[in-house]
Amino acid sequence: MHIVQVGMEYDVLKENNRIANSNYRLLKENGIKTIELMGSIGSGKTALIIKLAERLRNKGLNVCAIAGDVTGEDDQRRMEGSGLTAVNCNTGHECHLDANLVKKCLDKIDLDKYDVVFIENVGNLVCPADFPLGADYRVVVISTTEGDDMVRKHHDIFLHSDVAVLNKMDISDAVGVDPDVILGDYRKLTGGLKTMYTCSVKTEKGIDEIISVLGL
């Protein structure tokens, strides 16, 4: 029984990768740069997307977002409220987006019109790691409010992402978290090869650096 389950899981992941590749090609054919954001509920994914999109729109770029959640349209509404065009993407039960769901959202977007698409994954630090969606960059967002052990507890998501961001730097003292512990864990995990970027969406500190790291 266990072997059968493992086999099924393998097929699901293989099929997801196939669709992710086709999403990637579709986005590239349309000259679109795509950024996926992963992270826990409350890490600041939506706020970061809204902030980055604001900067990009000021540069004259056309930006759109896919708001992934299990249920509800809260994030899509927040995005639309900031002037960002957003498509809602509910998984129903699943705790992660998959490439097929993203494909269905891309079908609803007039890809001719956009330069950049943000994809906000469901708030979860575990299974999104296994399901690439076809983005140029997978970004993991954590915040100081989540404690100093996030990297030690969630190796996979950090190893499967291209860029890691530590948000809510402005309140690290108030929540009693030393950012250097988190940054040190990340350096250790990535063999000293990668740096976690720090920011505060609220004060806008570090936002420019993230834009430049993502080549936006």
Q: Considering the complex, what minimum distance in angstroms separates the CB of residue 46 from Mg ion?
A: 3
Partner in contact with 12, chosen from Mg ion, Zn ion, none, beta carbon below 5 to 8 Å by kind: none
User: How many residues are present in the chain?
Assistant: 216
Q: Considering the complex, what minimum distance in angstroms separates the CB of residue 98 from Zn ion?
A: 9
HSE-CB at 33 with a 13 A cutoff on CA atoms is 12
Binding region for Zn ion (CB under 5 A) out of 8-16, 22-30, 107-115, 126-134:
126-134
By C-beta, is 19 or 38 nearer to Mg ion? 38
By C-beta, is 46 or 124 nearer to Mg ion? 46
User: Both tokens of residue 67?
Assistant: 């708001």
By C-beta, is 123 or 183 nearer to Mg ion? 123
Q: Note whether 146 and 43 are within 8 A (CB).
A: yes
Q: Reduce the DSSP state of residue 167 to 3 states and report it.
A: strand
Look up residue 181 and give its DSSP letter.
Answer: H
Partner in contact with 46, chosen from Mg ion, Zn ion, none, beta carbon below 5 to 8 Å by kind: Mg ion
13: contact with Zn ion by CB under 5 A: no
Q: Considering the complex, what minimum distance in angstroms separates the CB of residue 90 from Zn ion?
A: 14
By C-beta, is 2 or 93 nearer to Zn ion? 93
Distance CA 46, CA 82 (A): 11
Q: Reduce the DSSP state of residue 140 to 3 states and report it.
A: strand
Residues 13, 26, 127, 171: which binds Zn ion (CB under 5 A)? 127
Distance CA 156, CA 125 (A): 9
By C-beta, is 45 or 168 nearer to Mg ion? 45
The binding site for Mg ion (CB under 5 A) comprises: 45-46, 75
Binding mask 80-119 for Zn ion (x = CB under 5 A): ---------------xx-----------------------
Q: Considering the complex, what minimum distance in angstroms separates the CB of residue 1 from Zn ion?
A: 21
> In this structure, which amino acid lies at residue 110?
D
Distance CA 182, CA 178 (A): 7
Beta-carbon contacts of 143 under 8 Å, excluding residues fewer than 6 positions away, are: 39, 40, 42, 43, 44, 166, 167, 168
Binding site residues, Zn ion, CB under 5 A: 95-96, 127
